[in-house]
Structure 1
């Protein structure tokens, strides 16, 4: 079959057959030039059959089975392969084929879009917070559902609907299970934060446990340095623990550098815990206590104002208080209100904060429905969120995205304003919020509470839908929804200017080598085309030729340049560096930008590449060799960056 007659679908299917069948392929990814497959049984791979496929330039069987297709086509072939299998790029293939999956395009484009996003300290912080809490989501969901059921039963018992003698033991058992998660959340947070920041996980757990103040003498409690009042367990909250563990990671790493190896295992943990523990007890927790006292005054003032304004302020600000562990200071206020009036007017308003999160989550689900990872998390967190357990939605969904957290708080404020305007809506006991609080609403005013819930749902939804979706997520969604018309292999090749000569230069200071000496057989055997490579001595990488940047691969390790004469040039930075996920590379140019030999296109961390066990060779290849008449490597050995080394002429 002629090469021109193969469609992408046919090419993908033949690659599967040569790899031993789709059932033998475990996963499919691609780099700038190759489809990379993890196979289950190497003996089933027929390399001769793969090499004979029209459109395949070569095959390498290393840690992965690599089928060389070439830039511009490889991403289309890889996408066709995962579409056939019904998975996303990098996901494990099932042992059967034909499963439809609309998310394949979103997965591919998401990676490309993320590679273009500029990092910022704030985005890095949100990413770290997400990495800390996402592993806890299953426990949040499981414990939250149990807590929600226990809360509903408790409220029904309190309201007299259920008999306490019959149901209390069931409630106690469920509370024991629930408390296994929520009572020790600071410890789990400390462990996960340590893993994210590079500290010892057990030490992180201990730092998290410090805020519980276990072991403090109640007869002589530690005092708040700012106010002189006794410290309260939990001051500092979750974010206080995260900050303390971040400091722990810095101190621990520094001590590992200076403490002698013979005593490092003894001295470093002790000093780390001592330094950070003291800071946590005498600075971080007191600072949170100082903030909490100010917030109590603010709450009292807001309550005095009353009405819809009070409801909005309290409903909007409650979640930030929860994150700092400051919500505990409201418990005495609730109890005092119940003792004096038989109900707390504050709790139903504060419950709206979680309802705003629910509305925001629905908006994210609808607006970003192509984001499988996000929608799956929302589906798991929504049931417990409706029951009043907000941690999964806060830490797993809205807070890591940033803007949705703010719009969710606005939704909570809207619900609080409705309850404040209705007036007289109070709870006869304190407990969870959300739908679980309905049986505890006093004097038949449950309808006012439900009205507030609905307003918070709608408010959080509308605010998030129109104002709370992050721009980068919207861009990913737009890319995922675009209809892609796949070309066949009969696509007309770009034309070149006849008899045009292009001068190529060294892309870095170092040594020029002929392509035959490359460590990677794909390049050494010239499967991708002719060229040369540089072994660099520093990480400043320049364009090899004058032209326009046509492609920047998402993992940043490869850049495509098209010259004015039509030569397609590939700058491939390192050997197998696609596996490094872009970390050693800082790209200095954009797609569509015109570059010359004096244009610095990237900064590369050569030490990081070497530490990962990868080669640092900077490969320069002409990939459309069918348009090239002559080529010559004019210089080998030591060179300076931008020094002329190679020439090629079109037909």
Structure 2
């Protein structure tokens, strides 16, 4: 098994450096382990170089074991996992008390290290938006089975309830419908609590405290005529204000507050005062700041909705269909209930509900587009299979939180699809619902005055609109990668989907990733690269800051410090691009990359920039290294004779085997 190989290699490295008790910290860059040793004299370098899988050893400011891209990260994770810490964390001092015979005392070392609580999680450096989507995915995906099960029950109960309201079913169905509502209400009525628990877990807080904050938004114990005041307006707070987004924000802040109290409160009373003070502070924060803020948004939104309704026509339908899902996430959709009821009272039906129902239909269309374009992603397809029938029945949470929102762009394109459906409904006009009930197909029995066909046309328009816009503009490249049911990338993910990907090309070229002076790899002032421990290639001393892709192919991985990435060409070459020497210590500050794993790039395409002044100020060399790591595919590599080269120009000609 692959895992056994990395585990064995990790143990062999430990055996040659004095065991984990001789290690202060382990980090890694794209090709090498960087190990901070407590006593370098215990390291047996000559023996370590002979270990299968070790490409070389460099002794600089840290002890560096060269393993190559794709292997180093797996071995590093195995090494820190064996002692119960995370990458970059200090090894526990207790390990120093263990026997120097690592192999004999491995179990004792592991047990001792497990006592050290590591709350820090290694996170990829990325944009705040991508990080937020990653957290949202982690929070809501565990709820997908519950969404699907309760959602189907909700959809069926909605259809039966609407049919009963339309006098298509008799009163004998009431008990069945009520029972089904009680079952699905176990999730949807108390959804805030589940979200609070999962959010706390995701951000390293106590799950129970997150659940309390989630339940707090319901204002439990505040029974009329008693109220809690909105400190900004003096009016009474409304239960539910803030919604899902309010919970996410409050519990995220709670994680920081709780960790601060744990850090500053003495251990002897920590179990008492940390949860007490955290809950008190965050309870006040949520009730008197988060909920009033949502209330202010609600008030503003009511005026906006009234204005949109007064404008009328397809424009109003488009805007309402577009913004409804964000309103649901903010918990602001509840403010529409009295509007619906007032319309039903005055007009006999609410024309607003069919328009807003189009938002869920846009999600359905987007999901179908994702199903077609991302069919190699088995994890995503399985989520869609479970959530799509529920979405058709008018329960949109599984599609929103499990599929479109975590991916980012599909959520936006789905909202646009909802706007298109809303425009059709509003454009046809005089389509209303006689009562409030589930949307989607389930709403058809409640459409007033025989206008159900117009409503169905709106549904179809939202389906088609969400599908087309998502299909052409809303599918992230990362979602199209081949993954198994567990979300793990398959080997075929590194291959391009073009017909030329499978063709064995006999010749290839590498272009310069930056403009500057072209050098042989042997002339680089770094033993790992100059001795070609990880492969052969070339270097460029940059004179400009723009970075280009050296080949046409697929990005395989990008270091969180942005100083290096790997890629695979159309003809199977595996390429490492390394920005600067020893720049891993700069923690990404001089680098800005516009690529991520799974992106397709072409040779000469701009992929980022590097700040040469910052690199120079840190006393680091800005040399850019381009290396072919699978030299078994290469028969010959010849550099061009040009001394000065422009970024994107051919730097090396390659003859393939």
How does the TM-score come out when normalised to structure 2?
A: 0.62
Secondary structure of the residue aligned to 2:530 is coil
Which residue of structure 1 lines up, in the alignment, with residue 227 of structure 2? 221
* 1:395 to 2:380 alignment: no
- Aligned with residue 170 of structure 2, among 151, 163, 180: 163
Which residue of structure 1 lines up, in the alignment, with residue 376 of structure 2? 370
- Aligned with residue 351 of structure 1, among 357, 361, 378: 357
C-alpha displacement of 1:474: 5.4
C-alpha displacement of 1:407: 0.8
Which residue of structure 1 lines up, in the alignment, with residue 199 of structure 2? 193
C-alpha displacement of 1:145: 0.1
C-alpha distance in 1, partners of 2:464/2:378? 24
Sort the Cα spacing of 1:348 and 1:563 in 2 relative to 1 into closer, same or farther, 3 A.
closer
C-alpha distance in 2, partners of 1:140/1:319? 17
Sort the Cα spacing of 1:430 and 1:257 in 2 relative to 1 into closer, same or farther, 3 A.
same
Secondary structure of the residue aligned to 2:145 is helix
C-alpha distance in 2, partners of 1:480/1:35? 33
* 1:588 to 2:604 alignment: no
* 1:121 to 2:136 alignment: no
- Aligned with residue 137 of structure 2, among 130, 133, 145: 130
C-alpha distance in 2, partners of 1:203/1:501? 56
Sort the Cα spacing of 1:271 and 1:436 in 2 relative to 1 into closer, same or farther, 3 A.
same
Structure 2's unaligned 5+ residue stretches are 12-49, 54-66, 73-121, 483-492, 508-519, 540-555, 567-574, 588-628, 635-657
- Aligned with residue 274 of structure 1, among 273, 276, 280: 280
Query: Which residues of 2 match residues 239-258 of structure 1 at below 5 A?
Result: 239-258=245-264
Secondary structure of the residue aligned to 1:602 is helix
Sort the Cα spacing of 1:256 and 1:563 in 2 relative to 1 into closer, same or farther, 3 A.
same
Secondary structure of the residue aligned to 1:174 is helix
How does the TM-score come out when normalised to structure 1?
A: 0.62
C-alpha distance in 2, partners of 1:399/1:72? 32
* 1:308 to 2:293 alignment: no
* 1:332 to 2:342 alignment: no
Cα deviation digits, residues 516-560 of structure 1 (max 9, x gap): xxxxxxxxxxxxxxxxxxxxxxxxxxx54277xxxxxxxxxx965
Which residue of structure 2 lines up, in the alignment, with residue 599 of structure 1? 581
C-alpha distance in 1, partners of 2:521/2:558? 35
Which residue of structure 1 lines up, in the alignment, with residue 497 of structure 2? 481
Which residue of structure 2 lines up, in the alignment, with residue 147 of structure 1? 154
Secondary structure of the residue aligned to 2:281 is helix
C-alpha displacement of 1:119: 1.6
C-alpha displacement of 1:230: 1.0
Cα deviation digits, residues 216-246 of structure 1 (max 9, x gap): 1421301222322211111000010010000
C-alpha displacement of 1:502: 5.0
C-alpha displacement of 1:418: 0.4
C-alpha displacement of 1:481: 3.1
Which residue of structure 2 lines up, in the alignment, with residue 259 of structure 1? 265
- The question of whether the paired residues in 2 share the 8 Å contact of 1:131 and 1:196 is answered with yes
* 1:545 to 2:520 alignment: no
Sort the Cα spacing of 1:501 and 1:205 in 2 relative to 1 into closer, same or farther, 3 A.
closer
C-alpha distance in 2, partners of 1:265/1:468? 47
Secondary structure of the residue aligned to 1:586 is coil
Which residue of structure 2 lines up, in the alignment, with residue 422 of structure 1? 428
- The question of whether the paired residues in 1 share the 8 Å contact of 2:565 and 2:577 is answered with no
- The question of whether the paired residues in 1 share the 8 Å contact of 2:377 and 2:480 is answered with no
C-alpha displacement of 1:590: 4.3
Sort the Cα spacing of 1:28 and 1:370 in 2 relative to 1 into closer, same or farther, 3 A.
farther
Which residue of structure 1 lines up, in the alignment, with residue 213 of structure 2? 207
Which residue of structure 2 lines up, in the alignment, with residue 457 of structure 1? 463
C-alpha distance in 1, partners of 2:476/2:246? 26
C-alpha distance in 1, partners of 2:220/2:535? 60
Query: Which residues of 2 match residues 85-104 of structure 1 at below 5 A?
Result: none
- The question of whether the paired residues in 2 share the 8 Å contact of 1:155 and 1:437 is answered with yes
C-alpha distance in 2, partners of 1:444/1:204? 47
Instruction: Tell me the matched-pair count.
Output: 446
- The question of whether the paired residues in 1 share the 8 Å contact of 2:536 and 2:631 is answered with no
- The question of whether the paired residues in 2 share the 8 Å contact of 1:546 and 1:595 is answered with no
- The question of whether the paired residues in 1 share the 8 Å contact of 2:557 and 2:565 is answered with no
C-alpha distance in 2, partners of 1:220/1:156? 38
Secondary structure of the residue aligned to 2:584 is strand
Query: Which residues of 2 match residues 534-573 of structure 1 at below 5 A?
Result: 544-545=529-530, 560-562=535-537
Sort the Cα spacing of 1:219 and 1:356 in 2 relative to 1 into closer, same or farther, 3 A.
same
Which residue of structure 2 lines up, in the alignment, with residue 317 of structure 1? 323
Cα deviation digits, residues 186-237 of structure 1 (max 9, x gap): 0000000001110000111001010000011421301222322211111000
Sort the Cα spacing of 1:417 and 1:34 in 2 relative to 1 into closer, same or farther, 3 A.
farther
| Highest RCO, 1 vs 2 (Cα 8 Å, sep ≥ 6) | 1
* 1:441 to 2:416 alignment: no
C-alpha displacement of 1:595: 6.7
- The question of whether the paired residues in 2 share the 8 Å contact of 1:33 and 1:74 is answered with no
Sort the Cα spacing of 1:623 and 1:120 in 2 relative to 1 into closer, same or farther, 3 A.
closer
- Aligned with residue 237 of structure 1, among 234, 243, 248: 243
Sort the Cα spacing of 1:259 and 1:356 in 2 relative to 1 into closer, same or farther, 3 A.
same
